[in-house]
Every structure is written in C-alpha cells, then in structure tokens.
C-alpha cells in the first residue's frame, strides 16, 4: 500500500487534532483532558491502549507479518506561557500554551496510528505508540518506562517539531542532538549582624556573590574545551533588610552538556567549589544537584533508517544538518533502554508567520508540515521492523 496515498486522507485530521490540543493545553502532570481525548480517538480507530505512567497512554498496533518492535514517542504537555498569537484556535486556558509544539506531536502520533492501522497487512512486528506526559519537567519518560512501556522494545523513535528548520526539511543525524539538563540549588548560611558592624557577622550576600564568579571557572578551567558545556546561575538572593548583614543566601542554576562524563564532573565540581567558597568566607553551603535528563545521542543505525525514510516520503533533499541544541529532552531515557533517534522536523515558514522560537508566546508552526511528521513516524517504524 502507498503510504502517501493513505496519509492524504488524514491531512485535515492532523491539523484539526493539532488545533484542538493547541486550544486546550495542560501543564506537565495535569494532562487529564488531553489524555482523555487521545484515548477517545484511539477507541474510534479500534486500537488497543492502556494507561501508562500517570496521564500517559500506551497504544499497541500488531502487524500482520512477523518482525521486531519499535516504540514511537509523542509528548503531550504544554507550558506556563501566555499565548500572544491571536490565532482563532489560541489557548483557552489563560497562562498555559503549547509553546513548544507538543500539540503537534500528539496530533502527528494519532495520525500515525490511523495510517499504521490502515497498513496493518503490510506491517511487520509491533508498533507501540507512547503518548507521553510531563516532558517539560522530565518525569514523564521515566514514569512510562517504570510502567513497562519499553518491555520487549527493540528500538525507539521520536520527533520534535523545530523552529530553526525550514518546513519540508528534517534533521535526524547521528550523534549528540540535545544536551543533558540538570539543576543545582545552593543554600548559604552565614551569621546576621547589624550592617554597621559587619565584623560581628558572616555575610551570606558576599559569599553568594563570590560563588557566582567561582562557579564560572568550572567550565573555563576544568571542562575539556573540546566538550561543549554550559553552567548558568539563573536565580540568586540574600538578606532580609537593607541595614542587616545577610544571614542566608541562595543560588539556583542549570548545567548542560553532551557527555555523561562531563555531567558527572559538573556535580562533583559544583559541590566542591560551592563549599570551599563558603568556607573561605566563614560561611556554610548546602548543595543539591538534581539530574533531570541525560544527553540525547542518536544511534547511528536508527538515524540512518529515519533519514532514508524521510527521503522516501519528503523527497531526496529533505534531510538537512542542524546544529545540536543545549535544550534537554527526556526522550533520552527511552534511548537508554533501546537504540533510538529523535528527528527535528522543520516547521519554519516566514510566509505563514512561523518564525518564532520555541517557548515564545508567539510560537506557531507551518501546519502543512505535520502530515510529513506522521508519515515519518510510520515509515521509520515499518522500515525498522521489516529488517
């Protein structure tokens, strides 16, 4: 059967679904209505599903021929962003928006389910479709894995719509694609005193100020310069009153890298620098380092299959190179369980105003690209399972 001919029947469906989810976004961990609609659509298709990982949904399509098992992933959660697009299908939930494109992913996955169902006679093996919650807080993938989503899975594949890639193009090259994303929280305890008598206190404000500068030396002087790495202090504070030596202070920040060794190095170095800096100012520091996601590194074999699939359905010039990004992606946890790849699907198109970056209140997409995403899910699954 011709995948393009079958997909043509669902070009309007993928847009309608995307607009429905866009108008009704739900933040991470609260995807109740989104999950309910996904289940309703799968029921209409006659596709088996089960709840998985809280609000997640795991659907299964069994092909008519023997073969392997691949898991496809599409995330469902929105962001705490106020929408500014003015679209007729704009968010109806104030302060919440699908500003990262997860509405597109859910719609493409439902459309892929439709196409796969229609092509069951040609499908080898099994396709699992993971409609994943809580990607933005990096807990959804782990929850679905703990609930058995990856049992019996030989490979996994995900798609993320991407504002830096032109519509009609896709980036799915092998190697590092997205960074680790960790959070650190440093609490500093000093000793309060009158601002006129600083010698009687231990100044937490001075301590955290020095700590910001000293932490920057980790990337500058401890990380191999051949390894991209970022350390950002995004939030800090100290003190309670203008004429009191600050007794308490804090820092919060993030690290990003593309190597597991560097990720481990960050954790050790931040604790060491924070505590020794505090000691040098006679204060004390408590460090909490939270590993949110590991680096997303595309498997060479799965990337090659997906790239070839893109050529089949989007044309020989569809694959393009796109620079890796320091953004994090919890799809990496699925890839720890089986070889996998994530594709960056282009949705940029100046003609329709799709020029804004992800997480912007103005973010929008070229919806004509979404059927390509649905077909890419399907073609990659069919090609892998048939090997």
pLDDT at 175: 96
Q: Could you tell me which residues come within 8 angstroms of residue 72 by beta carbon, excluding any fewer than 6 positions away?
A: 109, 112, 127, 128, 129, 130, 156, 157, 158, 377, 381
pLDDT at 65: 96
| Short-list 115, 151, 109, CA closest to 130 | 109
Provide the pLDDT confidence category of residue 213 given band limits of 50, 70 and 90: very high
Measured CA to CA, the distance from residue 380 to residue 309 in angstroms comes to: 6
Measured CA to CA, the distance from residue 383 to residue 386 in angstroms comes to: 5
The predicted model gives 218-233 an average pLDDT of 97
Measured CA to CA, the distance from residue 168 to residue 68 in angstroms comes to: 29
Q: Could you tell me which residues come within 8 angstroms of residue 47 by beta carbon, excluding any fewer than 6 positions away?
A: 59, 60, 61, 113, 117
pLDDT at 363: 98
287-337, pLDDT tens digit by residue?
999 999 999 999 999 999 999 999 999 999 999 999 999 999 999 999 999
Our separate counts of H helices and E strands in the chain read: 10, 15
Q: 295 and 333 in contact (C-beta within 8 Å)?
A: no
| Short-list 321, 320, 324, CA closest to 296 | 324
pLDDT at 222: 97
E strands within the chain? 48-51, 57-62, 65-75, 124-132, 155-166, 170-171, 175-178, 181-189, 193-194, 229-238, 244-245, 248-257, 284-293, 296-298, 340-348
Q: What is the DSSP letter of 174?
A: S
pLDDT > 80? residue 1: no
103-129, pLDDT tens digit by residue?
999 999 999 999 999 999 999 999 999
17-28, pLDDT tens digit by residue?
999 999 999 999
Measured CA to CA, the distance from residue 119 to residue 378 in angstroms comes to: 9
33-63, pLDDT tens digit by residue?
999 999 999 999 999 999 999 999 999 999 9
State phi, psi for 141 to the nearest 5 degrees.
-65, -45
The predicted model gives 136-144 an average pLDDT of 97
Q: Which domains does the chain have, with CATH numbers?
A: 3-177+295-385 (3.40.630.10), 181-293 (3.30.70.360)
Measured CA to CA, the distance from residue 238 to residue 247 in angstroms comes to: 8
pTM higher than 0.95 for the full model?
Answer: no
Residue with token string 């092998």: 174
State phi, psi for 21 to the nearest 5 degrees.
-65, -35
pLDDT at 165: 98
Percent of the residues in the chain that have a pLDDT greater than 90, as a whole number: 99
| Short-list 292, 287, 290, CA closest to 186 | 287
pLDDT at 318: 98
Provide the pLDDT confidence category of residue 195 given band limits of 50, 70 and 90: very high
């Amino acid at each position: 059967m011709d995948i393009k001919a079958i997909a043509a029947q669902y070009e309007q469906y993928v847009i309608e679904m995307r607009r429905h989810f866009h108008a009704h976004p739900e933040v991470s961990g609260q995807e109740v209505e989104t999950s309910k609609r996904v289940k309703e659509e799968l029921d209409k298709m006659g596709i088996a599903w089960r709840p998985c990982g809280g609000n997640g949904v795991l659907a299964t399509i069994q092909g008519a021929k023997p073969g392997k098992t691949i898991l496809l992933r599409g995330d469902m959660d929105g962001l705490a962003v106020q929408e500014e697009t003015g679209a007729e299908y704009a968010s109806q939930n104030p302060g919440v928006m699908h500003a990262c494109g997860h509405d597109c992913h859910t719609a493409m996955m439902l459309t892929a389910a439709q196409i796969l169902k229609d092509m069951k006679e040609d499908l080898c093996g099994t396709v699992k479709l993971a409609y994943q919650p809580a990607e933005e807080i990096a807990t959804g993938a782990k929850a679905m894995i703990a609930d058995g989503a990856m049992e019996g899975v030989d490979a996994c594949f995900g798609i993320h719509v991407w504002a830096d890639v032109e519509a009609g193009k896709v980036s799915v090259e092998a190697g590092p694609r997205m960074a680790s994303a960790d959070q650190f929280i440093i609490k500093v305890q000093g000793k309060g005193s009158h601002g006129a008598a600083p010698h009687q206190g231990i100044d937490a404000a001075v301590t955290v100020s020095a700590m910001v500068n000293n932490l920057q030396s980790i990337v500058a002087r401890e990380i191999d310069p051949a390894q991209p790495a970022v350390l950002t202090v995004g939030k800090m504070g100290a003190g309670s009153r203008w004429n009191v030596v600050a007794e308490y202070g804090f820092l919060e920040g993030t690290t990003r890298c593309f190597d597991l060794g560097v990720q481990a190095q960050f954790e050790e170095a931040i604790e060491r620098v924070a505590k020794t800096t505090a000691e040098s100012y006679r204060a004390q520091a408590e460090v909490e380092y939270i590993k949110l996601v590991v680096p997303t590194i595309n498997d060479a074999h799965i990337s090659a299959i997906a790239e070839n699939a893109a050529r089949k359905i989007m044309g020989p010039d569809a694959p393009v190179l796109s620079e890796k990004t320091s953004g994090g992606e919890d799809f990496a946890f699925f890839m720890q369980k089986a070889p996998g790849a994530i594709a960056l699907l282009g949705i940029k198109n100046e003609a329709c105003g799709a020029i804004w970056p992800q997480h912007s209140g103005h973010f929008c997409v070229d919806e004509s690209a979404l059927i390509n995403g649905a077909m890419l899910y399907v073609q990659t699954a069919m090609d892998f399972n048939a090997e």
